[in-house]
Structure 1
Amino acid sequence: MSTRRIVVPLRPGSDGDATHKPTSPSYSEVNPPTIYLERLAAQWMQARGEAVPGMIYILERLPAGYALFQRPRPKDQKIYDKYLYGHPQHKPFDSPNRFFPHFQYIMENGGSSLGCPCTVCNTKGGVLPKTGLTSGFFSKGGSSKGGSSKGGSSKGGSSGASSRTSTQKAAPVATAPVAPQFKGRPKMIGTGMDTSRVDEEGTPDVYRNLIDKLKRHGTLDEAIMEPMSLDWRAEQEILPGVLSKIKKEPQWVPRAGDIVLYVREMPYNATLVRHPTTGVYVFYDRHQKTILDVPRWEAGLVGQTPAEALQEGEKDFSVSYSGVRVEPLPSPNNPDKSLSKRYKYVPVHYTRPFNLWKEYLEQVPQDNWHPTIKNALTVMSTMSLVGKHRFHGTWPEAQIRCHGIYIGSEMLAIGDTVRLLPKAHGESVCTDVLVIKSIRLKILNLDKASTNDYDEGRPYNSEAWIYGAAYTTEPSRSSKEWLTDTKPPKSAQNYPDMYPLHPPNKEIAVPFSRVLGRLFEHDAMLLWLNSAPSLDEGREGLLEARAFGRAHDNRITQSFGATWYWGDTRSEALDLHTINGLEVGKSDTERDPGAWRKKIKVMDGQPNAQVKLDAGHKSLRNFMAPATSKLPVRRQNLLPSSSDSSSGGSSRSGRKREANDESRNEEEIREQMRIIEDDGQPSMSQKKKAKVMVVID
């Protein structure tokens, strides 16, 4: 009977530096590095107390960033000396025995080598302890006295024995029976708590950690959780209520974060109508039947949405409840953001979607425009994602699922019906709509990109795509074979008949830049435009606005080849310092992520802290598809923000650093903030199969 061969999976985290490679041409890479994989696996299983006699163990791979190279010995070309490269101090290991203490330490500490007792980290040479002695010698519990000493010799021998004498002194300690560190399933540090990669604020960089994990495992499908980020925790409380409210309201209702046209005051008994001769929108007195003044339109950000039902008649509450809070939009090119303080609560019918700016202002001389109009036009080529909740992919590509996206002036969410811009060839007007089923950030070419987001190396590519069911008003582009019992979107009622653009078992994927905006209900458009609307309303104005933004937003013009500005949050995309009177983002003078993380550790010290966190995360799963169960509406007027610390590796332009400012807190975090996680490959019952095919349109 043949001996069984067991593949031992790695734990999350690595300190490996892939840039550490030999420079001499006499070296060649050893792939696969079998000698290291087998010896490390055997020593590790023995150190964990899980080795079974007669079994052969082999690691699934080396930790990320490490690679084995060999060169012929100068005096005997038939013999090759092997060296392992990848140490963060750019020092090679000359044998599996010398590497094992370092390997074991980073496996037990989430990839961090801070305090590693190995001889290479401590720049000490000499005799290494035998394989059988390493179980208690370099374990986390056994290295507390001398393991973190980097200066002189260690009295307890935990620095790796700098001489034969010190090795002999350490032997009695090492041979003492040591209980296995893990009982049952080992504890893993989740990607949201792994401090081997941190962002510029010192918060664990969950997106880079997920990319590293994807590289190790080849495939990955994991929920995005950032328990060490107070921003993420706040989003988990706010976002479910925001999404629930969006699903219940018509699409024409302004949403938090939308940019709208609005008037501050409207004469008594007046309404807005289009002048039959000049085409200018004017105030019209319904009782006197006379034309009044031309309104002074402003552009502003919706900070708070109506808390009272939107319907005709007397309101039970003041306009601060039944209306919207609108803050004048400052220029992204001007550090003076005082305009935001001149907010106004106005009834909803005082507002119009900013995508219709040309229809309302085309006949008004630009000299008469309010300054906020051009401020809004300047940010029409901005984008930010909302609610990144799942990471999945197969190396070297990945996707991040999102609950929403801000494109220009509007917020879009799962389940919305949006209009699509015509393709560059063969079409001139808007005829297609899309019911959004998923919003994804694609991350591409990870194998060719630098593993350090803070250096000037090659970045990975990122693209935002929107998937869904598409319909068209042109019967010739549809097929009778695609007809189903599915009704067209609710917001498309009273528009021309809609026909499916693909079979029901397929979806269409479009880049975010093809989205014209939400499809507003026919009755609302009829009221706003005083004429029968078409799907093409606002298209010309939107294209002109995006062109204006590309030409006038300094963040775009100063970045060679850029056509969009991607922000981590809505406030960053619009370069806002305050929203609803509160400082946001980097402008928040009381923002202290380091202090927040300390408080998070205290909160999670409670027995039920993790249960509460998981419950909050599960509440968002109801928003992953249009057909969802209804959740209670939370009366929350805060503006949702995207917790992206990275997407931008893709979407964000800011750089990240690997240096950890909180070295003194790392040990405490590791002891108190562990998350149980199954790091193995998914079982057959867990693997998902695609139910639909995707067509790139």
Structure 2
Amino acid sequence: MQLKKRGQLDVSITESGSMDWRAEENGLEETIERLGMQPSFMPRPGEVVLWTTAFEGELSWNAEHECVEIYSSTKKCWMGRPEWRAGVIGQVPEQEIILQDLVDMSRKKWDISYCGFRVETLPDPNGLDKSYSLHYKYVHLKCIKPFNAYENFLQGIPRDELHPSIEYAMTIMSSFSLLNKYRFKGVWPNASIFCKGIFIGAELLLVGDAVRLKPTFPYGPEDAYRAVMDVMIIDEIRLELADCVEDPTSDQLAGRYDVRISGKVYTKNYQRTKMDESHPPPKALKADEVTGVFRSIGMSGYGDWYPLWSRMRVTVSQNMVIGRCYEPDAMQFLFSSLHLGLDLCGVLNGREYSRKVDERIPQDKDWFWGDFRTQTLAIDTLNGEDVGYYSDTRDVKLWRANLRIVDGTATQADFRQAKIPGDVGRPATKSATTFGAVGKISKLVSTGLGDVDISNPVSSAEEEGVKEESSSNDDDDEEEEEEVFVARIDQLRGGTEESEEGDYAPVTDINKRPKYEY
């Protein structure tokens, strides 16, 4: 409505009434910044990967069986196929990951729970049974492969021998969700929401990432692996709202929604630079230019890079993005090749499969748009925590009431909805209605108020009464300690009631009543 009144608007996005936003605001910014500094081959939280349990040896192509198997260099023999599954990255290692970890486990200082990845098996997005999320394990990086390349690692395995989670992961390949919306800008009736990241299918893409683009020219299946030549450096991710709806009671914000990813594009193919006939073909980037353009290290290992479209920004949809562009050394370890399109057919086939089986995609649409990542994955738990949208722990009224108490704008209704526990013990002689008193019994409120003494959650009147009672009790104790009772030795009973020398004397002249009366 503000956009309609003002005509144009450019503001930062804040969601002060959302407990999720308040809890994640600072931590999410730090996490995104840290992920951007890590190697592009390293799996990120929330991504779907191909994984297996620990194994001894290395993965190699067995030409006889025409599939990827484990080869033991010590035993000089093949050890069979890994038991591949699809899973969600729940936690990443605390210890630094190096390139060698892709194929071998380097010496680590800490246990696997600190130097490994927590991976949880992906359940059926279309089903109600989410028990597969309980099947998790901490594994090293050598046991994890990018799911976009599932066709490369699962080649030669019959479909009926695949774990069900593989097809569950293919089901979400045509889904996306935006991450960290930070800015709203528009001129009525159109607007844009800017974001720091986006989940597309199995991967998380962030501003600053180098991503591979789908080829726009025709190619055959046998040439798909070398058809990908262009790479975009993302500098903007936005959700465009076209024809915004004026009615505030409407279910929709706009008449049409479009995801747009913008950035400068570079190519490995010199012939591609001749498409723009209005400008002469550019020269290859120098070594220092490559370092400045790509955030990843060692990108010169691919060969020469040429800027496209006179280094102007290009805008594409999420459908044009294949996935991140890994470092050349990582490509050699994973695929023994530097071709950028090794997973092109797998990604496109996965998206086509998803559009056929994902029940959440409307008939006339090609993508499922989730509000958040756990919704696109359709999971209820992650890292042992309940993350379902309809979870019983998500009491929105209670959360908002507590937030208003923290902000100092609460009403009596908010105090009731906040469900703050009452005082325990004797009723106070003085009513406590200030935020300071509330802070003594509410950890959330005390955090918002700052330094509040919560060591003794009672009123001042009670404190005085407790002090007086305590002092009087101390005096009584001192008086009792001064009284000393001394008994003679012959007054003390000896032995037991049945033993010799005891003083037990049963009374025998008492008439006993009959045990039963008739």
Task: Please confirm whether the aligned pair reaches a TM-score higher than 0.5, indicating the same fold.
Answer: yes
1:533 Cα deviation (Å)?
Answer: 2.7
* Correspondence for 2:68: 281
User: 2:54 aligned to 265, 269, 274, which one?
Assistant: 265
| Larger Rg, first or second structure (1 or 2) | 2
2:263 is the counterpart of 1:468: yes
Distance 1:588 1:387 in 2: 22
Deviations 1:255-299 (A, max 9, x none): 001100011231x3x111111344311111111221111111000
Q: What is the letter of the counterpart of residue 593 of structure 1?
A: V
Q: CA RMSD in A?
A: 2.4
1:30-109 aligned at under 5 Å gives the runs none
Q: Which moved more, 1:422-431 or 1:363-372?
A: 422-431
1:412 Cα deviation (Å)?
Answer: 0.4
The runs of at least 4 aligned residues of structure 1 exceeding 6 Å deviation read none
Distance 2:127 2:35 in 1: 32
Distance 2:247 2:412 in 1: 22
Q: Report sequence identity in percent.
A: 35
TM-aligned CA distance change 1:587 to 1:665, over 3 Å: closer
SS in 2 for 1:252: coil
SS in 1 for 2:304: coil
CA contact (8 A) 2:54 2:140 kept: no
TM-aligned CA distance change 1:227 to 1:218, over 3 Å: same
Distance 2:90 2:82 in 1: 22
* Correspondence for 1:518: 324
User: 1:595 aligned to 363, 378, 398, which one?
Assistant: 398
SS in 1 for 2:236: strand
Deviations 1:608-659 (A, max 9, x none): xxxxxxxxxxxxxxxxxxxxxxxxxxxxxxxxxxxxxxxxxxxxxxxxxxxx
2:501 is the counterpart of 1:501: no
* Correspondence for 1:652: none
* Correspondence for 1:307: 94
Q: What is the letter of the counterpart of residue 438 of structure 1?
A: E
Distance 2:217 2:412 in 1: 53
Deviations 1:468-489 (A, max 9, x none): 1110112122244576663252
Q: What is the letter of the counterpart of residue 272 of structure 1?
A: L
* Correspondence for 1:247: 36
1:458 Cα deviation (Å)?
Answer: 9.3
Distance 1:415 1:250 in 2: 12
SS in 2 for 1:602: helix
Deviations 1:365-384 (A, max 9, x none): 00110110000001111100
Distance 2:93 2:18 in 1: 30
2:206 is the counterpart of 1:407: no
Distance 2:320 2:258 in 1: 13
Deviations 1:496-551 (A, max 9, x none): 421101234x211111110000011122221122x223011100010000000000
Distance 2:63 2:228 in 1: 26
Distance 1:236 1:393 in 2: 23
Deviations 1:585-627 (A, max 9, x none): 4242211111111111122239xxxxxxxxxxxxxxxxxxxxx
**More helix as a share of residues:** 2
* Correspondence for 2:135: 342
1:52-451 aligned at under 5 Å gives the runs 212-266=1-55, 268=56, 270-311=57-98, 313-423=106-216, 429-446=227-244, 449=245, 451=247
Distance 2:73 2:406 in 1: 60
Distance 1:438 1:316 in 2: 39
User: 2:374 aligned to 547, 562, 571, which one?
Assistant: 571
Q: What is the letter of the counterpart of residue 320 of structure 2?
A: R
CA contact (8 A) 1:381 1:407 kept: yes
Q: TM-score, normalised by structure 2?
A: 0.72
User: 1:535 aligned to 327, 340, 343, which one?
Assistant: 340
Deviations 1:59-116 (A, max 9, x none): xxxxxxxxxxxxxxxxxxxxxxxxxxxxxxxxxxxxxxxxxxxxxxxxxxxxxxxxxx
TM-aligned CA distance change 1:552 to 1:440, over 3 Å: same
CA contact (8 A) 1:583 1:589 kept: no
Distance 1:320 1:665 in 2: 42
* Correspondence for 1:683: none
Q: What is the letter of the counterpart of residue 346 of structure 1?
A: V
Q: What is the letter of the counterpart of residue 547 of structure 1?
A: E
Q: What is the letter of the counterpart of residue 74 of structure 2?
A: H
Q: What is the letter of the counterpart of residue 518 of structure 1?
A: R
TM-aligned CA distance change 1:424 to 1:570, over 3 Å: farther
Q: What is the letter of the counterpart of residue 247 of structure 2?
A: T
Deviations 1:138-179 (A, max 9, x none): xxxxxxxxxxxxxxxxxxxxxxxxxxxxxxxxxxxxxxxxxx
1:664 Cα deviation (Å)?
Answer: 5.8
TM-aligned CA distance change 1:484 to 1:366, over 3 Å: closer
Q: What is the letter of the counterpart of residue 269 of structure 2?
A: E
TM-aligned CA distance change 1:440 to 1:482, over 3 Å: farther
SS in 1 for 2:16: coil
Tell me the matched-pair count. Answer: 393
Distance 1:507 1:605 in 2: 46
TM-aligned CA distance change 1:482 to 1:393, over 3 Å: farther
CA contact (8 A) 2:405 2:414 kept: no
Q: Structure 2: which 5+ residue stretches go unaligned?
A: 101-105, 274-279, 418-434, 436-518
TM-aligned CA distance change 1:453 to 1:382, over 3 Å: farther
TM-aligned CA distance change 1:482 to 1:387, over 3 Å: farther
1:424 Cα deviation (Å)?
Answer: 5.8
Distance 2:219 2:163 in 1: 38
TM-aligned CA distance change 1:453 to 1:546, over 3 Å: farther
Q: What is the letter of the counterpart of residue 412 of structure 1?
A: L
Q: Structure 1: which 5+ residue stretches go unaligned?
A: 1-211, 607-661, 673-697
CA contact (8 A) 2:285 2:304 kept: no
Distance 1:453 1:513 in 2: 32
* Correspondence for 1:37: none
CA contact (8 A) 1:493 1:521 kept: no
